[in-house]
Amino acid sequence: MNLLTRRKTKGDFWFDVVNYSLLTIVMLLVLFPLYFVLIASFSDPNLIYSGEVWLFPKGFTLEGYERIFQDAAIWTGYANSLLYASVGTFIGVAVTLCAAYPLARKDLYGKTAIMWFLLVTMFFSGGLIPTYLLIKDLNMLDSLWALVLPGAGAVFNVIIVRTFFQSSIPDEMWEAASIDGCSNARFFWSMVLPLSKSIIAVMVLYHVVGFWNGFFDAMIYLSDEQKYPLQLVLRNILVQNQVNSSMMIDVESYAAKLRVTELIKYGVIIVASLPLLALYPFLQKYFVKGVMIGSIKG
């Protein structure tokens, strides 16, 4: 280790200093807003407005979280988001894998034309109004399917997975399996999928994040508030300042309502972020490998 350290030139040393300094600054710029929201959710809003909350919470209180956990609308939105993310991720990943694998095979007739057709849809779409009319004609308005089906086969994801299959699943493996009488379906389920854990993890993470953070489709296609996902409930709180009246039933003065509203806003952001923060550590080991392999070749 000492020998390797001595081989570093002065230029290498200063490069490392500048590089680590810049990375530290970027890390702080990304992490501090998240950290501030966390400590603000435990702090007195009056102290936040006065600029006294900086590194540690002041005026410590759990009132915001207490009101959040007592509100039925938050938990209904939480349950809806979990349902939409689970079903949507399962359908989206399944469609992506089933579409990408044939396109990665050299013996698929007309795959070039199919890829060009998919690429056209990637850059040009019908727009919001035709899509809404299509969803309406399919009788999917105000239902789960309006949120999970239209974007199930994202072309960008198909291209990433296809590239992964081309670079990681050799044709010789299929030739050897076919000689032994293995069918395409059996080869896909028994050999391709077990060797594709990294890219599947990447797709799961992409879809879960997309569904969990999505609110626009729900705002367009859902009219029943009992079906709203958490992010739409959060949007109403953050943007429209619509805190559920049941959360402030015991608050009388306007100033006190503003104070409680701010506590609820910060608290809901933290509560909404927890599932993704809990999921990422389990997929992180596959994430970098899957993204790199899926993006280098193709």
Mind listing the pLDDT tens digit for each residue in 112-125?
888 888 888 888 87
Name the least confident of 19-28, 38-47, 56-65, 246-255.
Answer: 246-255
Across 54-81, average pLDDT = 83
In tens, the pLDDT along 135-146 reads 999 999 989 999
Whole-number pLDDT of residue 238: 65
Domain-embedded: residue 27: no
Does the pLDDT value for residue 254 go beyond 70?
Answer: no
Burial 79-111 (b: 16+ CB within 10 A, else e): ebbebbbebbbebbbebbbebbbebbeeeeeee
* 149-163 core/surface letters (b: 16 or more CB in 10 A; e: else): bebbbbbebbbbbbb
Helix/strand/coil (H/E/C) assignment for every residue in 40-95:
HCCCCHHHHHCCCCCCCCCCCCCHHHHHHHHCHHHHHHHHHHHHHHHHHHHHHHHH
Least confident of 69-83, 136-150, 223-237, 281-295: 281-295
How wide is the angle at C-alpha 271 spanned by C-alphas 75 and 41, nearest 5°?
Answer: 125
User: CA 12, 17, 20, 23: dihedral to nearest 10 degrees?
Assistant: -110
The whole-angstrom separation of Cα 264 and Cα 71 is 11
Q: Is residue 113 in some structural domain? A: yes
C-alpha 161/C-alpha 168 separation (Å) is 10
Return the closest-CA partner of residue 99 out of 5, 188, 6. 188
- Contact between 152 and 95 (Cβ < 8 Å): yes
Question: Is residue 89 included in any domain, yes or no?
Answer: yes
Residue 124 domain-assigned? yes
How far apart are the C-alpha atoms of 217 and 35, rounded to whole Å? 29
Band of pLDDT at residue 240, cut at 50, 70 and 90: low
The Cα 233–Cα 242 span in angstroms is 9
For residue 244, what is the enclosing H or E element? none
Q: How confident is the model at residue 297 (pLDDT cuts 50, 70, 90)?
A: very low
**Do the domain assignments include residue 45?**
no
Q: Which of 201, 206, 235, 203 is nearest to 77 (CA)?
A: 235
Q: 228 lies in which domain range? A: 63-296
5 assigned to some structural domain = no
Identify whether 158 is part of a domain.
yes
168 vs 255, higher pLDDT: 168
Domain total of the chain? 1
% of the chain residues with pLDDT over 90: 12
Helix, strand, coil percentages, rounded to 5, for the chain: 75, 0, 25
Residue 274 CB contacts under 8 Å (≥ 6 apart), including other chains: none
pLDDT exceeds 70 at position 61: yes
Neighbours of 231 (CB within 10 A): 23
Mean pLDDT of the chain: 81
Q: Which of 278, 265, 294 lies closest to 65 in space, CA to CA? A: 265
**Do the domain assignments include residue 73?**
yes
Residue 22 pLDDT grade (very low, low, confident, very high; cuts 50, 70, 90) = very high
The burial of 126, by beta-carbon neighbours within 10 Å (0-12 exposed, 13-18 middle, 19 or more buried), is given as exposed
pLDDT at 90 over 90: yes
The CATH number assigned to the domain holding 267 equals 1.10.3720.10
Reading the block at residue 83, the tokens are 């349902």
**Could you give phi then psi for residue 105, rounded to 5 degrees?**
-85, 135
